[in-house]
Amino acid sequence: MSNVLEVKNLKTYFYTDEGVVKAVDDVSFSVEKGKTLGLVGESGCGKSVTAMSISRLISPPGRIAGGEILLSGRNLLALNNEEMRQVRGSQISMIFQEPMTALNPVLTVGFQIAEAVLAHERVSRREAWSRAVEAMRAVAIPDAEKRAKDYPHQLSGGMRQRIMIAMALVCHPSLVIADEPTTALDVTIQAQILELLDSLREEYHLSLILISHDLGVIAEVAETVAVMYAGKIVEIGPAMDVFHNPKHPYTQGLLRSVPRLGSSVQKKDRLDVIEGMVPNLLHLPDGCSFAPRCYKKTVECTLSPIPLEPVSERQEVRCIHA
Amino acid sequence: MPDVAEPILSVRNLKKYFPIRRGVLARVAAHVKAVDDISFDINKGETFGLVGESGCGKTTAGRAVLRLIEPDTGTIRFDGIDLLSLSSQQLRRRRRDMQIIFQDPYASLNPRMTIRTIVGEPFAIHGIARGSERDDRVANLLKTVGLDPSVLGRYPHEFSGGQRQRIGIARALALKPKLIVADEPVSALDVSIQAQIINLLGDLQQQFGLTYLFISHAIPVIEHISTRIGVMYLGKLVEVGTSAQICLAPKHPYTQALLSAVPIPDPGARKQRVVLKGDVPTPINPPSGCRFHTRCPIAIDRCKVEEPPLRETQDGRDAACHLVE
């Protein structure tokens, strides 16, 4: 299977007055054609910065400090700004959490989708408009011709997110990065949007990076899962293995601490917890960043950085006790 | 003695409509029917979960119960007293027994106040304990919620989201309330912190014999923490039952759809789900008959015209659906 995207040793640092924040620190993964990679982790773990780095949308004081990002074999970090601008929207596109802030309130949604076509392809305005309407049909917006003339505020949250997806797909990109695409939506609407993303991925052989803090959302759609903590991938592998046989104590703790539907069969008084809280990225402990909260911690964990190592053919874990 | 649980809170026919005003004369053009005739009881020491999607009226219901929003009609009996008959003076005194915890720990703490002032404010308002005695009480409260009492002189911005939520909980506990309305208390928190706060709320309930009205859109959280659950849709309660009745064997088609939409953190469990068509209609002009009929997979003609009342079903739960026996 060919990889559409390969990220190798990506480092994105923020040079603040208080010190260097290593938001993404030596992250590597790949996404196969037509597959979905799920990036999961809590706030500040670096999952969104990873996404922004792939599209090269990091602004000062942040900078990509090292690594390679290969899109169909081409290193995006070697492109100049104009070349990169051509890549964005046509080969890589993004879907954000809050569709209301990602859309321009004074332009019709049809115009905004058509704009993406005009930016990347030599087509007439009429042609761009009909492509926009077609994209809106593809994301199952009823009455697409009429809705295309609506402004964002006239649409519901779920419909706006469909518009964002239409905009992301209209130029047939090979990679779509969806950053918490359903977090602002209600569960019944979330189910619709996840189902839509998955069916579009299949239909257009898209590669998808889905970023979420919600383990349930990741489990629904991702084939491969990468768990991030404090700027690093701590565990990566096929979703089945990571969810059914988690090896990193952080992954284990996360999976145990979420309340499960159906828990009233056997009611537990208390949830299992991960003690403590996420460390400040400015003052990371030596060795394993998770060690201060880890039940398996030994002296060895705190001496030197822990490498990500294979525990099976397909699963890699950053823990010496795995 | 039969062990009959006695309701500490009894809500009947509660309604809250918000007027929409239009034009230069600000004439009332329509109403948002946020809470439209709901009734429920909460027993002493239990947790009643109120669940539903945005705009279903769960937050309005929670606030109306405390008269933080003045209800239009209905009765609220709390601990034997009809809250709606109280004057604002009398109500303020009763408020000692009913407190609220808010969703956003960043917005619900005054950034210019120290933790000492924030947690000590209920004492100041009710003229209880002064000076070092008040400090002692505040320090004790902080210990109760798992914070170090040495933080008394610090400000909210120095704390993480989870710690701020603990501060909000300490404030709610200050006057030893009987009932706490918790409005999405863990929704803004990270997964690993959520579990800590949920456990804390459970521990405090045991320790102080608290009763909770727990409002959330997160069904697994509601299921874990609640004794009984009420499901809301467009201002109405559509199903009320024990946590197991609602979450293991839902009867109302909306509850069924809502549960089937919850993503399960298990890639092996991908399942057939009832995906509802369309969006939630606006509560300004809710659909006629059963409000859910526009999205209901099993609706019949009768549902479009006749509103189903919330009534007891065979297994003792309540459901508002013509098609549930």
Match 């407190």 to its residue by tokens.
B99
Cβ-contact A217, A190 below 8 angstroms:
yes
Is pLDDT of A310 > 70? yes
The pLDDT > 90 percentage for chain B reads 75
Label each residue of A163-207 as H, E or C.
HHHHHHHCCCCCEEEEECCCCCCCHHHHHHHHHHHHHHHHHHCCE
**What per-residue confidence (pLDDT) applies to B276?**
82
CA dihedral B6, B7, B13, B17 (to 10 degrees): 180
Under an 8 A CB cutoff, do A194 and B263 touch? yes
Can you tell me the distance from the alpha carbon of A284 to that of B121, in angstroms, rounded to the nearest whole number? 37
pLDDT for res A97? 83
pLDDT at B88 over 70: yes
Q: What is the average pLDDT value for chain B, to the nearest integer?
A: 91
Q: Nearest by CB to B191, which of A190, A239, A254?
A: A254
Average pLDDT over residues B136-160: 92
Question: Which pLDDT score is estimated for B1?
Answer: 43
Contact A216 B268 (CB under 8 A): no
Tens of pLDDT, residue by residue over B49-82, are 999 998 899 999 999 999 999 999 999 999 999 9
> Any idea which residue has 């062990």 for tokens?
B3
Out of B225, B258, B264, name the one closest to residue A188 (CB): B258
3-state helix, strand, coil in chain B (%, to 5): 35, 25, 40
pLDDT band at B3 (very low <50, low <70, confident <90, very high): very low
pLDDT-based confidence at B5, cuts 50/70/90? low
For residue B279, the tally of other CB atoms under 10 A from its CB is 18
Whole-number Å distance between alpha carbons of A106 and A101: 12
User: Where residue B105 falls among pLDDT bands split at 50, 70, 90?
Assistant: confident
* DSSP strand pairing (A3-16 vs A62-71): antiparallel
Q: Do A262 and B223 touch (CB under 8 A)?
A: yes
Residue B4 has pLDDT above 70, yes or no: no
Distance from CA of B275 to the nearest CA of A (A): 6
Residues contacting B309, CB < 8 A, separation 6+ = B320
The DSSP secondary structure of A200-230, one letter per residue, reads: HHHHHT-EEEEEES-HHHHHHH-SEEEEEET
Q: Which residues of A touch B261 (CB under 8 A)?
A: 187-188, 190-191
Residues in contact with B252: Cβ distance below 8 Å, sequence separation at least 6, in sequence order: B231, B238, B239, B319, B320, B321, B324
3-state secondary structure of A155: coil
Do A220 and B279 make contact, defined as CB atoms within 8 angstroms? no
Residue B223, pLDDT above cutoff 60: yes
Residue A70: both structure tokens together: 């290969």
Give the model's pLDDT for residue B67: 94
Cα distances (angstroms) measured from residue B126 to each of B81, B86, B93, B123, B228: 20, 18, 8, 5, 33
State yes or no: pLDDT of B39 exceeds 70.
Answer: yes
Query: What pLDDT, on a 0 to 100 scale, did the predictor assign at position A178?
Result: 94
| A194 contacts A178 by C-beta, under 8 angstroms | no
- Of A213, A255, A258, which has the smallest distance from its Cβ to B220's Cβ? A258
Residues 6+ apart with CB under 8 A from A67: A7, A8, A9, A10, A11, A26, A27, A28, A77
Q: How far apart are CA A200 and CA A136, in angstroms?
A: 12
CA angle B115, B116, B119 (to 5 degrees): 75
DSSP for B198-230 reads: HHHHHHHHHHHT-EEEEEES-HHHHHHH-SEEE
For the purposes of burial, counting CB atoms within 10 Å of the CB of B209, is it exposed (0-12), middle (13-18) or buried (19 or more)?
exposed
pLDDT 10s digits, B266-325:
988 766 677 787 778 888 888 999 999 999 999 999 999 999 999 999 999 999 999 998
Running DSSP on this structure, what letter comes out for residue A88? B
* Shortest CA distance from B250: residue in chain A: A262
Of B193, B264, B268, the CB nearest to A261: B264
DSSP 3-state of B280: coil
In this predicted model, which residue has the larger pLDDT, B54 or A13? A13
Q: What is the ipTM for the molecules in this complex?
A: 0.85
- Is B98's pLDDT higher than 70? yes
Torsion angle, alpha carbons of A69, A74, A78, A79, to 10: -110
Give per-residue pLDDT as tens, A174-217. Answer: 999 999 999 888 888 888 889 899 999 999 999 999 999 999 99
- Chain B residues with CB-CB distance to A230 below 8 A: none
- What is the Cα–Cα distance from B47 to B226, expressed in whole angstroms? 5
Q: Which of B160, B266, B274 best probes binding to A when mutated, by most A CB atoms within 10 angstroms?
A: B266
Q: What is the pLDDT of residue A157?
A: 85
Q: Decide if pLDDT at B174 tops 90.
A: yes
Q: What pLDDT digit, counting tens, does each position of A36-81 carry?
A: 999 999 988 999 999 999 999 999 999 999 999 999 999 999 999 9
The stretch A117-126 carries a mean pLDDT of 92
Q: Say how far apart CA B215 and CA B102 lie, in whole Å.
A: 10
SS3 A258: coil
pLDDT band at residue B2 using 50, 70 and 90 as cut-offs: very low
A269 — pLDDT class (breaks 50, 70, 90): confident
**Paired residues of A3 in beta bridges:** A32
pLDDT-above-70 percentage for chain A? 100
Inspect the interface and report whether the beta carbons of B192 and A216 lie closer than 8 Å.
Answer: no
Q: What span, in angstroms and rounded, lies between the C-alpha atoms of B31 and B284?
A: 6
CA-CA distances (angstroms) from residue B182 to A42, A317, B101, B198?
23, 38, 5, 11
Position B134 scores a pLDDT of 92
- Distance, CA of A304 to CA of B236 (rounded, Å): 58
Say which residues have a Cβ less than 8 Å from residue A261's Cβ, sequence separation at least 6: B219, B220, B223, B247, B259, B262, B264
Q: At A101, is the pLDDT very low, low, confident or very high (cuts 50, 70, 90)?
A: confident
Q: How far is CA A147 from the centre of its chain?
A: 29
Contact A260 B198 (CB under 8 A): no
Mutate to test the interface with A, among B54, B166, B190 (most CBs of A within 10 A): B190
CA atoms within a 13 Å half-sphere pointing along the CA-CB vector of A143: 7
CB B274 within 8 A of CB A188: no
Torsion of CA B314, B317, B320, B324, to 10 degrees: -30
